[in-house]
């Protein structure tokens, strides 16, 4: 499969009053056509900022460096005017809260058709027709009626479908979805995840799913990337990471997640709190919470290195990840 | 109205009978307000020492029910028997005597803490109104004891809420609920705003505290994995009515109501192979508006098993002894386990 997005050495830094905070450090990954990559991490892990920087949507005090190659084009450092030729056309992003992402004063069809008029040069009439077709594709009943509605007249699930329809109008190569189902009820979430799967098959769109929910990852992702303290700590095929995690943080996340089909008496959580990016621990950022740490972890940061062919991890510990052995 | 004699030996800590709660919603300045039936005809018991989970989608009435039990909202109909005594009818001063036994933990830990009070003041606050007889020294000792029990360092007593992370703030909320040594705590989405690793810490903490203090918990959540993890029995609500109530294992392994089954198959499983294999019980559409609920069985508009009778008659809540269920067809349907 051809690579559609190649990210090299991505750094994101925010300048505060007195200091600088690095939200993302040294991120490298590739995304191939039609694949679904899940990006997993807790708050402050840098998972959202990494992709906001690729979209050129960082806050004013944020700065990105490195490369994000969409085909032959580097999106990092591009002027906003130039970026607009790609955003919404070749690469699109949807967010957790669909209400705040839609313009409340415009009818659904107006804001969706605008995308096609602008990027594809459609006439308004043709754009509206295509819009209605797309609303139907994403499973909106009575698409003509909904197209004439304002966002507040739609339910949460319906609004998220509208956002997905909008993002897919130009058949983007890459769709980035930041916690797209977190605000939705579980039955609607299931419908939405199904929709993502079908659409990426149908349009060949590569999907980046940013989420904290490992259940969501298991259902849809081909590969996953686990982030901690602004860095990727482990990445590889979803099954490998779930059934044979090699980084203690990945293992800890899996142990922390309650499973609907199994009732364990106790969960086995990671001790302590996620670090503040302003005061990242020395060495490996995870070492204060890690059950497998040893001397080296306190002083030296482990690089992200290949393990087997298909996966990478950043951890000094080479033994088996077995809680009993350390305890 | 005469209240029933208090029977302190009874296993039932709380008995809710035919509870209903309506809100009036105005649709405009000049139009007549109409009624939103948030809860209708809810009856169940909570036994001493158990954890009752309440699940359902947004708008099903689960939080309203929690607040009605605590009398933070006054039910429009029905009774709430607290150890045999009807507290739904009590005037506020009388209710205050019971408040120290009934506490609540909220979803958003930071929003539910007063930013201008120190941690010590926040945790001690319920004692001022509910146990005014305690001296300052006793109050402080109690606060420190509880802080230790919930995993907060006693030296944090003079800090302010903004200095704490979400997980620690939730520990403060739990300490505040525990300080009066309550018998029952309603936990309203207590871990939904927390990161996964912190969520697990708080769930373990609640389990430990429940054993340590002999608590009874009502655990409200939209997250079915979390509810299963903590609950002995589970109630499923849909549009303000109970559709099914059973022991956790019975409910999850052998759901009888089509809605329960649909909910269970929709829960994401953190296990890729199982997630790929299973078929989601494609529940169509979304929860209808509670302002204008469907006739008969309110779930029928999304139910694949619906028959004409489901539109005509509301299914009664039947009891089998171990399970309560409201579905016309529950005896004939063969539903596979959800997950």
Model pLDDT, residue A203: 86
pLDDT in tens, B274-301: 888 877 766 777 788 888 889 999 999 9
Model pLDDT, residue A43: 85
The H or E element spanning position B233 is strand B233-238
Model pLDDT, residue B285: 74
d(CA B146, CA B154): 9
Q: Which of A185, A255, A257 sits opposite B222 (nearest CB)?
A: A185
Residues of A in contact with B271 (CB under 8 A): 218, 242, 259, 261
Instruction: Note whether B200 contacts A185, CB cutoff 8 Å.
Output: no
Model pLDDT, residue B1: 40
Q: How many CB atoms lie within 10 A of CB A149?
A: 15
pLDDT in tens, B216-235: 999 999 989 999 999 999 99
Are A104 and A97 within 8 A, CB to CB? no
Average predicted confidence (pLDDT) for chain B: 89
Model pLDDT, residue A323: 59
B84-98, B258-272, B274-288: which has the minimum mean pLDDT?
B274-288
d(CA B47, CA A306): 54
Q: How far is B318 from chain A (nearest CA, A)?
A: 25
pLDDT in tens, A241-262: 999 999 999 999 999 888 877 6
Q: Is pLDDT of B45 > 70? A: yes
Residues of A in contact with B339 (CB under 8 A): 260-261
Model pLDDT, residue A265: 64
Provide the percentage of residues in chain B whose pLDDT is more than 70.
95
Please report the beta strands in A33-184, taking only residues with DSSP state E, as ranges in sequence order: 36-40, 62-70, 73-74, 91-94, 174-178
**Low-confidence residues in chain A, pLDDT < 70:** 262-265, 323-327
Are B16 and B47 within 8 A, CB to CB? no
Average pLDDT on B237-266 reads: 93
Q: How far is A195 from chain B (nearest CA, A)?
A: 12
Write the CB contacts of A70 (distance below 8 Å, at least 6 apart in sequence).
Answer: A4, A5, A86, A90, A91, A173, A174
Model pLDDT, residue A30: 95
Q: Which residue has the higher pLDDT, A217 or B165?
A: A217
A116-120, A189-193, B50-54, B140-144: which has the minimum mean pLDDT?
A189-193
d(CA A111, CA A73): 27
Angle between helix axes A156-168 and A186-203 (nearest 10 degrees) is 10
Partners of B184 in the beta sheet?
B102, B216
End-to-end CA distance of chain A: 44
Model pLDDT, residue B5: 47
pTM over 0.90: no
Model pLDDT, residue B197: 86
Model pLDDT, residue A185: 84
Model pLDDT, residue B6: 46
Model pLDDT, residue B7: 47
Average pLDDT on B156-166 reads: 91
Q: Which of A191, A238, A261 sits opposite B339 (nearest CB)?
A: A261
Residues of B in contact with A156 (CB under 8 A): 58, 286
Residue B134's pLDDT band (cuts 50, 70, 90): very high
Average pLDDT on B265-271 reads: 89
Write the CB contacts of A8 (distance below 8 Å, at least 6 apart in sequence).
Answer: A28, A66, A67, A68, A69
Average pLDDT on B70-74 reads: 92
Q: How many CB atoms lie within 10 A of CB A315?
A: 25
Q: Is pLDDT of B9 > 60? A: no
Are B323 and B246 within 8 A, CB to CB? yes
Instruction: Note whether B197 contacts A252, CB cutoff 8 Å.
Output: yes
Instruction: Note whether A261 contacts B269, CB cutoff 8 Å.
Output: yes
Residues of B in contact with A269 (CB under 8 A): 197-201, 204
Model pLDDT, residue A277: 87
Residue pairs spanning A and B at CB distance below 8 A: 146
Q: Which of B240, B287, B244 is nearest to B37 (CA)?
A: B240
């Amino acid at each position: 499969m051809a690579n559609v997005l190649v990210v090299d050495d991505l750094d994101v830094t925010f300048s505060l009053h007195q200091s600088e905070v690095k939200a993302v450090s040294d991120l490298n990954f590739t995304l191939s056509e039609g694949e679904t990559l899940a990006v997993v991490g807790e708050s402050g892990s840098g998972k959202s900022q990494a992709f906001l920087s690729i979209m050129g949507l960082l806050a004013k005090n944020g700065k990105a460096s490195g490369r994000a190659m969409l085909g032959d084009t580097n999106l990092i450092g591009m002027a906003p005017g130039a970026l607009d030729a790609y955003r919404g056309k070749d690469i699109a992003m949807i967010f957790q809260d669909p209400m705040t992402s839609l313009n409340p004063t415009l009818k659904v069809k107006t804001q969706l058709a605008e995308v096609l008029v602008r990027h594809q040069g459609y006439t308004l009439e043709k754009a509206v027709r295509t819009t209605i077709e797309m609303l139907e594709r994403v499973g909106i009943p009575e698409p003509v009626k909904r197209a004439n509605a304002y966002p507040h007249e739609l339910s949460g699930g319906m609004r998220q479908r509208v956002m997905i329809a909008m993002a897919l109008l130009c058949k983007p190569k890459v769709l980035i979805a930041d916690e797209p189902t977190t605000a939705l009820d579980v039955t609607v979430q299931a419908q939405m995840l199904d929709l993502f799967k079908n659409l990426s098959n149908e349009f060949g769109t590569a999907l980046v799913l940013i989420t904290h929910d490992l259940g969501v990852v298991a259902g849809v992702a081909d590969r996953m990337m686990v982030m901690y303290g602004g860095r990727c700590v482990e990445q590889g095929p979803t099954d490998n990471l779930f059934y044979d995690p090699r980084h203690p943080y990945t293992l800890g996340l899996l142990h922390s997640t309650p499973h609907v089909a199994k009732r364990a008496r106790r969960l086995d959580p990671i001790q302590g709190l996620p670090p503040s990016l302003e005061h990242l621990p020395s060495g490996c950022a995870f070492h204060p919470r890690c059950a497998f740490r040893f001397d080296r972890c306190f002083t030296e940061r482990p690089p992200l290195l290949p393990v087997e062919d298909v996966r990478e991890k950043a951890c000094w510990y080479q033994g088996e990840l077995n809680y009993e052995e350390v305890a | 109205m005469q209240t029933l004699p208090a029977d302190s030996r009874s296993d039932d800590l709380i008995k809710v009978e035919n509870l209903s709660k309506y809100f009036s919603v105005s649709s405009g300045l000049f139009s007549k307000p109409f009624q939103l039936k948030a809860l209708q005809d809810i009856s169940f018991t909570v036994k001493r020492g158990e954890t009752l989970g309440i699940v359902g989608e947004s708008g099903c009435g689960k939080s309203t029910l929690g607040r009605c039990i605590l009398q933070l909202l006054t039910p429009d109909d029905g009774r709430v028997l607290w150890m045999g005594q009807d507290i739904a009818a009590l005037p506020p001063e009388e209710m205050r005597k019971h408040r120290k036994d009934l506490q609540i933990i909220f979803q958003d830990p930071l929003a539910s803490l007063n930013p201008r009070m120190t941690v010590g003041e926040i945790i001690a606050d319920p004692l001022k109104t509910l146990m005014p007889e305690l001296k300052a020294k006793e109050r402080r000792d109690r606060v420190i004891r509880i802080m230790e029990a919930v995993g907060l360092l006693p030296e944090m007593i003079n800090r302010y809420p903004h200095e704490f992370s979400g997980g620690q703030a939730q520990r403060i909320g739990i300490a505040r609920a525990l300080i009066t040594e309550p018998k029952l705590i309603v936990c309203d989405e207590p871990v939904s705003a927390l990161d996964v690793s912190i969520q697990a810490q708080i769930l373990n903490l609640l389990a430990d505290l429940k054993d340590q203090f002999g608590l009874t918990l009502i655990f409200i959540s939209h997250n079915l994995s979390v509810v299963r993890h903590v609950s002995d029995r589970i109630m499923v609500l849909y549009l303000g009515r109970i559709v099914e109530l059973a022991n956790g294992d019975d409910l999850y392994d052998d759901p009888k109501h089509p809605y329960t089954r649909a909910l269970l198959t929709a829960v994401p499983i953190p296990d890729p192979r199982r997630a790929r294999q299973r078929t989601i019980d494609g529940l169509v559409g979304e929860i209808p508006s509670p302002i204008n609920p469907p006739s008969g069985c309110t779930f029928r508009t999304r139910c694949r098993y619906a028959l004409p009778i489901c539109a005509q008659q509301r299914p009664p809540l039947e009891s089998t002894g171990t399970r309560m269920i409201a579905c016309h067809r529950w005896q004939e349907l063969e539903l596979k386990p959800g997950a």
